């Protein structure tokens, strides 16, 4: 039956494609398509030819107008494209000569009604609609070059009712490479059957300033951790036959003072730090996973905008890292060369600079004509050579060839999408990755897990207790059923104990963010809300306070000044604590928070990040012990914004404390140490580390170093331990980091079970940038530190590297 449906779908497609103009060529042949409609199998139409031969042949037949059309994005329906499906007006638009890609076409975005369309769901509707659009470009343009259909995918595929994932900061907290690979497979598989061919994921930015709003969209602050998960996500995506476009290249995540929005410039990063921290994940992912796309960022570095930099887009990206795909610009990156960075005399000059730097495709929420027309003028004026244009277009065509768009440009079985997208199995996976993102920050006297037999009345309170907006993202699926923490606990407690709910206060107060700078008296309404929560708390056995940030307080262009709980939430928590009843804090947030009072007084704190749509069910499972939290922090929690930067890794001596002993440099003038360090996270069980082995203990610089150790679950319940290996270069020619993460594994252990963990260090793991900015493995001693966080080291050892 399945084969029958595939054949029927193919027959329907053939009928559709032959129903056009009377003089239309019969272009669909067995094993090849006559894209240029000349009745002959050209080299670029021949699947047996190499990609380079096909691209060269196609380029030789293209006009300047057709080439420039392969250098711009057409944003999909309701953003730029006014139409859901092709119509006669398209023949008068610039894309009559083709287009590089169409972004987010007919996908639907949460809370943006203007993007809603009947072609997004059922899923087969979208696959069929994409086929119609692709058919138009193949049949109605002279050369018939297929479109690359792009879409976002960092929280799960950005499509109506696709499989949801937690925010990337939650994914990072899983420290589970296998799980992240599977997440990439799901996003790629769903994209493929829906008709998307290129996914903008993963984000490889290093989140070193927790005030920055897009920390929620990063895996964490450590480049090795980001690189490992980035490799897994990229490989997972591309294993399903779609392209992965990584972002944002480069040095994007450190705007000065974390100021985002209209700033988006001026990262203060030294050259060596740029390479060792901010470029490291991109280099690793490009070399190991071979993504087919890169998105260039709109910031500058040391006064030179990235999207106008030949050094970044060509020398680094292609010549040094070996990137072989095509580069798209982040929104307005080209325009910013002129109207923000002011390094171009006019917009046309900005276009010239970007193209010559190495940009392949301009992508922003403007018409493609706004880029293609000035580009054509530059060519006619002789300000950009056709040789440069050919090189940029060849990169785009090469990716389209590698994706199979010149061999199988259509979704072969649109109905298959209804069976593949957001299956029960995918939903189970979504719940599992959300479970593994939970991080237990505090558990005084083992208050958690809660015992259902000791609870009659439970209060769920807080502005985020019955909210679900944070489970959705601009860059993730829309319109999925979402479970609030209150509903999840209520469902869990059905027939076991009573569950009550009081909001208590809003996420923010009327004067916020001014209230982050000074005390503002509570209004009568705010005080009444807290009073109501307190009265209900007095009648309860346990209080679950769900507090933090919502989707309006963290995200793109939403950097913060303070990292305390916004609004009146701390007053609410203090009032609940004063009742004397046990309080469990559930944090919903996208970035580290300075929860000093909460950490000192509240007995149990669970970090849930921005979880997936199963949020309430997973939090309930975790609070009552059905899920043992095993996630670890991938970002440092500071005690104060005055400590920033306080991220990991850090240079030796840069996080130094203070002493009360009288002498030069003594004093107690500041708060030291983080609230929670990088890699930190508790469990409902305990683990023991033993038997560290290092082989060899003496080696030359190009040798692999093999490290093994044993981990035992010494508690009474099953649990996950994220084992972490850190490396210290004892003496080096330049100042290095106190320690660097160089290996990790998430290990699941039954009570009493022991497993051996094996980690291999390669020469690249020992490298540093020497005084001459050359990557070098220097001779000397390296200390190995194995533990459960960057500060909780259980095993120590060392090995020696000798010069050749």
Q: What is the DSSP code string of 659-694?
A: --SSSTT----S--S-SB-TT--B-SS-EEEEEEEE
- Residue whose structure tokens are 């099953």: 718
| CA distances, 525 to each of 285, 467, 521, 522, 548 (Å) | 52, 20, 11, 8, 20
- The 3 state secondary structure assigned to 34-72 is CCCCCCCCCHHHCCCCCHHHHHHHHHHHCCHHHHHHCCE
Would the CA dihedral through 549, 552, 558, 561 be positive or negative? negative
User: 3-state DSSP call for residue 269?
Assistant: coil
**CA–CA gap between residue 377 and residue 355 (Å, rounded):** 13
**CA–CA gap between residue 88 and residue 534 (Å, rounded):** 65
DSSP code at position 595? -
For residues 54, 56, 60 and 62, what is the CA-based torsion angle, rounded to 10 degrees? 70
Which of 330, 395, 509, 729 is flagged as catalytic? 330
Would the CA dihedral through 374, 375, 378, 380 be positive or negative? negative
Q: Do 173 and 437 form a contact (C-beta atoms < 8 A)?
A: yes
* Structure token digits, residue 524: 């009568």
* Structure token digits, residue 542: 């346990």
Closest alpha carbon to 119 in 194, 191, 10: 194
**CA–CA gap between residue 697 and residue 322 (Å, rounded):** 33
Residue 787 burial (10 A CB sphere; 0-12, 13-18, 19+): middle
Q: State CA 399 to chain mean position distance.
A: 22
Q: State CA 105 to chain mean position distance.
A: 21
* Structure token digits, residue 52: 């380079």
- Residue whose structure tokens are 């972002």: 247
**CA–CA gap between residue 501 and residue 245 (Å, rounded):** 43
Q: Do 516 and 561 form a contact (C-beta atoms < 8 A)?
A: yes
Q: Do 326 and 337 form a contact (C-beta atoms < 8 A)?
A: no
**CA–CA gap between residue 2 and residue 644 (Å, rounded):** 58
Q: Do 682 and 445 form a contact (C-beta atoms < 8 A)?
A: no
DSSP code at position 77? B
Q: Do 717 and 752 form a contact (C-beta atoms < 8 A)?
A: no
Residue 531 CB neighbours (<10 A) = 12
**CA–CA gap between residue 330 and residue 607 (Å, rounded):** 31
Let me know if 770 is a catalytic residue.
Answer: no
User: 3-state DSSP call for residue 571?
Assistant: helix
- The 3 state secondary structure assigned to 424-457 is HHHHHHHHHHHHHCCEEEEEHHHCCCCCHHHCCE
| CA distances, 214 to each of 154, 183, 231, 358, 559 (Å) | 12, 20, 20, 26, 8
Closest alpha carbon to 744 in 655, 676, 673, 681: 681
**CA–CA gap between residue 330 and residue 609 (Å, rounded):** 26
Q: State CA 157 to chain mean position distance.
A: 12
Closest alpha carbon to 722 in 700, 744, 749: 744
* Structure token digits, residue 101: 């890609």
For residues 783, 787, 793 and 799, what is the CA-based torsion angle, rounded to 10 degrees? -10
How many residues are recorded in the chain?
804
Catalytic (active-site) positions: 330
């Amino acid at each position: 039956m399945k084969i029958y449906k595939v054949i029927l779908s193919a027959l329907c497609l053939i009928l559709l494609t032959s129903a056009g103009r009377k003089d239309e060529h019969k272009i669909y042949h067995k094993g090849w398509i006559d894209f240029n409609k000349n009745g002959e199998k050209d080299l670029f139409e021949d699947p047996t030819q190499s990609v380079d031969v096909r691209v060269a042949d196609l380029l030789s037949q293209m006009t300047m107008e057709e080439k420039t059309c392969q250098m711009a994005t057409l944003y999909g329906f309701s953003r730029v494209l006014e139409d859901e499906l092709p119509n006669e007006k398209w023949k008068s638009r610039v894309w009559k000569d083709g287009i590089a890609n169409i972004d987010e076409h007919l996908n639907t975005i949460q809370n943006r009604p203007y993007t809603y369309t009947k072609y997004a769901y059922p899923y087969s509707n979208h696959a069929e609609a994409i086929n119609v659009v692709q058919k138009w470009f193949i049949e109605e343009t002279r050369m018939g070059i297929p479109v690359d259909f792009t879409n976002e995918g960092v929280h799960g595929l950005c499509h109506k009712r696709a499989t949801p994932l937690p925010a990337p900061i939650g994914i990072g907290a899983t420290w589970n490479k296998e799980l992240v690979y599977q997440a990439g497979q799901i996003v790629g598989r769903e994209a493929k059957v829906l008709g998307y061919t290129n996914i903008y994921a993963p984000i490889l930015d290093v989140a070193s300033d927790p005030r920055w709003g897009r920390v929620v969209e990063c895996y964490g602050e450590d480049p090795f951790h980001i690189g490992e998960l980035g490799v897994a996500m990229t490989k997972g995506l591309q294993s399903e036959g779609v392209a992965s476009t990584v972002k944002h290249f480069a040095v994007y995540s450190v705007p000065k003072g974390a100021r985002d929005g209209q700033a988006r410039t001026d990262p203060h990063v030294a050259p060596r730090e740029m390479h060792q921290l901010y470029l490291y994940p991109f280099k690793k992912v490009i070399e190991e996973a071979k993504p087919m796309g890169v998105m260039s960022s709109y910031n500058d570095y040391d006064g030179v905008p990235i999207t106008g930099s030949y050094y970044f887009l060509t020398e680094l990206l292609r010549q040094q890292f070996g990137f072989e795909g095509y580069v798209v610009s982040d929104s307005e990156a080209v325009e910013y060369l002129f109207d923000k960075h002011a390094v171009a005399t006019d917009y046309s000059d900005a276009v010239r600079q970007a193209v010559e730097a190495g940009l392949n495709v301009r992508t922003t929420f403007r018409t493609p004509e706004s880029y293609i027309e000035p580009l054509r003028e530059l060519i006619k004026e002789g300000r950009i050579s056709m040789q440069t244009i050919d090189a940029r277009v060849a990169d785009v065509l090469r990716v389209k060839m590698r994706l199979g768009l010149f061999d199988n440009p259509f979704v072969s079985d649109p109905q298959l999408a209804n069976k593949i997208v957001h299956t029960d199995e995918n939903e189970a996976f979504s719940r599992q990755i959300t479970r593994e993102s939970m991080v237990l920050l505090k558990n005084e006297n083992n208050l958690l897990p809660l015992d259902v037999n000791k609870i009659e009345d439970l209060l769920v309170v807080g502005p985020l207790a019955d909210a679900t907006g944070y489970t959705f993202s601009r860059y993730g699926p829309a319109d999925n059923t979402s479970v609030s923490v209150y509903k999840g606990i209520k469902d869990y407690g059905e027939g076991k104990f009573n569950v009550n709910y009081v909001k208590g206060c809003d996420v923010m107060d009327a004067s916020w963010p001014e209230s982050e700078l000074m005390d503002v008296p509570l209004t009568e309404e705010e005080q009444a809300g807290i009073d109501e929560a307190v009265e209900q708390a007095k009648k309860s056995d346990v209080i679950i306070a769900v507090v933090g940030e919502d989707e309006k307080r963290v995200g793109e262009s939403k950097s913060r000044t303070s990292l305390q709980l916004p609004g009146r939430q701390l007053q609410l928590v203090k009032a609940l604590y004063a009742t004397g009843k046990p309080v469990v804090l559930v944090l919903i947030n996208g970035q580290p928070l300075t929860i000093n009072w909460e950490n000192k007084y509240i007995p149990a704190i669970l970090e849930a990040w921005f979880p997936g749509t199963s949020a309430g069910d997973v939090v309930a499972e975790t609070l009552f012990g059905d899920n043992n939290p095993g996630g670890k922090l991938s970002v440092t929690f500071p005690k104060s914004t005055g400590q920033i930067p306080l991220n990991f890794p850090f240079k030796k001596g840069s996080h130094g404390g203070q002493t009360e002993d009288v002498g030069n440099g003594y004093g107690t003038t500041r708060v030291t140490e983080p609230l929670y360090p990088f890699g930190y996270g508790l469990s409902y069980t305990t683990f023991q580390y033993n038997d560290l082995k290092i082989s060899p203990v003496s080696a030359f610089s190009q040798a692999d170093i093999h490290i093994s150790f044993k981990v035992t679950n010494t508690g009474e319940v099953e649990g996950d331990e994220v084992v972490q290996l850190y490396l210290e270069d004892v003496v080096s020619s330049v100042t290095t980091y106190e320690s660097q993460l160089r290996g990790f594994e998430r290990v699941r252990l039954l009570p009493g079970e022991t497993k051996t963990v094996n980690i291999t260090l390669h020469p690249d793991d020992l490298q540093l940038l020497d005084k001459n900015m050359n990557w070098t493995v220097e001779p000397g001693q390296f200390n190995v530190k194995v533990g459960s966080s960057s500060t909780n080291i259980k095993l120590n050892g060392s090995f020696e590297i000798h010069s050749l």
